[in-house]
A and B are shown apart, each in its own frame.
Chain A
Amino acid sequence: MTAPSSLWSTLSEPLVRQNPVTLQILGICSALAVTTSLPTALTMAGSLTVVLVLSAAIISMIRRHIPDAIRLIVQIVIVASLVIVIDQVLQAYLFEISRKLSVFVSLITTNCLVLGRTESYARLNPPLPSMVDALGNGLGYSLVLVVIGTLRELFGSGTLMGAQVLPLASEGGWFTPMSLMLLAPSAFFLLGGLVWAIRTWRPEQAEVPEYTPPEAIGEPAE
């Protein structure tokens, strides 16, 4: 179980093949809300990864002693406390960015991704594999956030990490910012396009249609 190769696959699987956002479509609310610029996307990705790894470690350590009847509440309390601590640290040391992230850091608590990993993996596995799994999922989430954040910041305001990359038309350049990129719908489009691209590249990720209409035989009924 703890052979290096299996740890490596636990870490690398969620990056693309089992990506929590594009395959399981988990945690997309925050993925859409914070990706208007790359710095906020990176901070959010970092915060979520830290919360995910720490909560997986703690829950995995006490996994044999969590009563089944209250296991979800115990997990949520632990996740919520870690989120508050992270939020306070951000407000103290990354004040500007924490203002831009506003409520979305606190909403990590309700991020399906975190509870999904603690409930389905950390609750059943020893600390080391749990932390590696959490790190892999955190990095998978980060990857999607960085891709979408890069596209939205680049085409929405012509900057990357706040530095002007595409010269703006209003300042003598040629690029007119696409304001749509800064709004939530564009994140849906980009995420949809990303999921489409990944599933075209790896057809095994596509879901089986739940219902196939029967072939029409002969004349259609009146």
Chain B
Amino acid sequence: MADLNPISAWRGLLALPNESRTKTVAMAFIVSAVCAVLVTGATVILRPIQAANRAAEEQARIEALVAGIPGMADLLQQTGGTLTTVVVNLKDGRAATNVTPATLASALADAANWTSLPAGEDLAGLGQRPDYAQIYLLRDGDTVSLALLPISGAGYNGRIDAILALKGDMRTIAGMAVTRQSETPGLGGRIEEPAWLASFAGTRTTDDTGTVRFSVARGPAANEYQVDGITGATRTSNAMTRIIRFWLGPEGYGPLIDAIRRGEF
């Protein structure tokens, strides 16, 4: 008959020989349960702090990006120093009507709001692309004077996240910030260095016909559509070229860029 007194049952369990099947199963279960509680507890308790860290870092990078663009500090003061946050629908390049920055995370949790990319168009190695993206716009009167566009894609060692700042003409890069990367330290990892990111400012992305011409050069930049390559990091440099071309192209922010150029924002 089963022993119903928990204390004596516990003693009985401990007294069993280690090799007995009951004790093996019971030990496996107890250890797993205790470890599960430990891990879950740590994750749940620490998650708000981690989320705050990530948000603060993203914010700091956006501020640093805006502050690093020549003439931007003056412009910010004129307009009251605030960027407007807009969620755009990437398919038609318009402001999303039913998704706000607050509900973006839950909208993106729904697989229906993602578009899978065919291999030929998936330059950035993403596999699938969200239909909604949160961008930041700076307005000068009625016209957009600066657009901050978050971009991402597969690098050499892992995902690269960055923010690309385009000037009001939508054909000139105003600045660039890498917010997340795991490239080889000292080589591809140098995409985070301010000196390299500064070389993006003033680079043109598309020619007059609207074709995307931007690339990271092999070696020094040869024309106004290129930035210097990073020595010893060809794979990472090529990944940056593909990521930026993808996001400026028709599957990325292309429709949005056209809409801003037509003055629809």
A residues at B contact (CB < 8 Å):
36, 62, 64-70, 73-74, 77-78, 80-82, 84-85, 88-89, 91-93, 95, 100, 102, 156, 179, 182-183
Count how many pairs of residues, one from A and one from B, have CB atoms less than 8 Å apart in the complex.
Answer: 73
Given A36-B186, A84-B42, A102-B182, do A68 and B18 touch, yes or no (CB 8 Å)?
yes
CA separation between A66 and B18, bound complex, in Å? 7
User: A183 contacts B186, CB within 8 Å?
Assistant: yes
Which residue of A36, A88, A100, A183 contacts B43 across the interface (Cβ within 8 Å)? A88
A-B contact pairs, 8 of them (CB 8 A): A67-B27, A69-B19, A74-B31, A78-B31, A80-B35, A85-B38, A85-B42, A179-B232
Closest 10 CB pairs of A and B: A182-B186, A81-B35, A92-B49, A67-B24, A92-B46, A95-B53, A85-B42, A88-B42, A67-B18, A88-B46
- Tell yes or no: B104 within 8 A of A by CB: no
B residues at A contact (CB < 8 Å):
14, 18-20, 23-24, 27-28, 31-32, 35-36, 38-39, 42-43, 46, 49-50, 53-54, 57, 182, 184-187, 232
Within the complex, the shortest CB–CB distance from A104 to chain B, in Å, comes to 11
Q: Which residue of B lies closest to A82 (CB)?
A: B38
CA separation between A93 and B46, bound complex, in Å? 9
User: B50 contacts A77, CB within 8 Å?
Assistant: no
Within the complex, the shortest CB–CB distance from B41 to chain A, in Å, comes to 8
Residues of the A chain whose Cβ atoms lie less than 8 Å from the Cβ of B49: 92-93
CA separation between A93 and B49, bound complex, in Å? 8
User: A70 contacts B42, CB within 8 Å?
Assistant: no
Within the complex, the shortest CB–CB distance from B238 to chain A, in Å, comes to 20
Residues of the A chain whose Cβ atoms lie less than 8 Å from the Cβ of B19: 67-69
Which residue of A70, A92, A93, A156 contacts B186 across the interface (Cβ within 8 Å)? A156
Q: Which residue of B lies closest to A69 (CB)?
A: B24
Residues of the B chain whose Cβ atoms lie less than 8 Å from the Cβ of A84: 39, 42-43
Residues of the A chain whose Cβ atoms lie less than 8 Å from the Cβ of B32: 77
Within the complex, the shortest CB–CB distance from A110 to chain B, in Å, comes to 16
Residues of the B chain whose Cβ atoms lie less than 8 Å from the Cβ of A92: 46, 49-50, 53
User: B38 contacts A81, CB within 8 Å?
Assistant: yes
CA separation between A64 and B19, bound complex, in Å? 11
User: B39 contacts A81, CB within 8 Å?
Assistant: yes
Scoring A65, A80, A93 by chain B CB atoms within 10 A of each residue's CB, the highest score goes to A65
Within the complex, the shortest CB–CB distance from A72 to chain B, in Å, comes to 12
User: A91 contacts B50, CB within 8 Å?
Assistant: yes
User: A78 contacts B24, CB within 8 Å?
Assistant: no
